């Protein structure tokens, strides 16, 4: 069995529809989880006025469990269709998993 990883992406709320549509339309990709979060950090160059006042930015986190070698395919698809330097990604190992019943 191929080792699995969790591909994690963070991006501004404004990119949610584009990224979701690209991943949903791609054949053979697994589903994903999308979470609304508030990003805290020192770089507020792309923040709205309201986000600057609050001191945090509206962000989305996307999690997708994929075979380790397949994550490059997902990233290549996103790079070809989403032109933004505001999308950050990393991989996390998945040690175990399954269904309870």
Range of the domain at 85: 4-93
Q: Rounded CA gap, 56 and 3, in Å?
A: 35
40-97 tens-digit pLDDT: 666 666 666 666 666 667 789 999 999 999 999 999 999 999 999 889 999 999 999 8
pLDDT computed for residue 52 by the predictor: 64
Q: Rounded CA gap, 59 and 16, in Å?
A: 9
- Asked whether residue 13 is domain-assigned, the answer is yes
Q: Per the structure, how many domains does the chain have?
A: 1
- Asked whether residue 100 is domain-assigned, the answer is no
- Asked whether residue 99 is domain-assigned, the answer is no
pLDDT computed for residue 37 by the predictor: 84
Indicate the pairing of strand 88-93 with strand 4-12: antiparallel
Q: In what order do the strands lie in the sheet with 57-67?
A: 33-39, 57-67, 4-12, 88-93
Span 30-34, average pLDDT: 97
Q: Rounded CA gap, 100 and 9, in Å?
A: 27
CB 4 within 8 A of CB 94: yes
pLDDT computed for residue 2 by the predictor: 80
The model's confidence at residue 25, banded by pLDDT at 50, 70 and 90, is very high
Query: Could you tell me the pTM of the whole model?
Result: 0.84
pLDDT computed for residue 59 by the predictor: 87
């Amino acid at each position: 069995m191929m080792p699995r990883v969790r591909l994690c992406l963070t991006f501004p709320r404004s990119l949610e529809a584009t990224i979701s549509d690209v991943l949903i339309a791609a054949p053979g990709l697994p589903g994903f989880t999308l979470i609304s979060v508030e990003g805290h950090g020192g770089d507020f160059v792309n923040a709205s006025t309201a986000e600057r006042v609050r001191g945090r930015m509206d962000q989305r986190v996307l999690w997708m469990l994929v075979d380790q070698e397949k994550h490059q395919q997902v990233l290549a698809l996103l790079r070809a269709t989403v032109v933004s330097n505001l999308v950050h990604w990393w991989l996390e190992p998945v040690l175990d998993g399954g269904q309870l019943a």
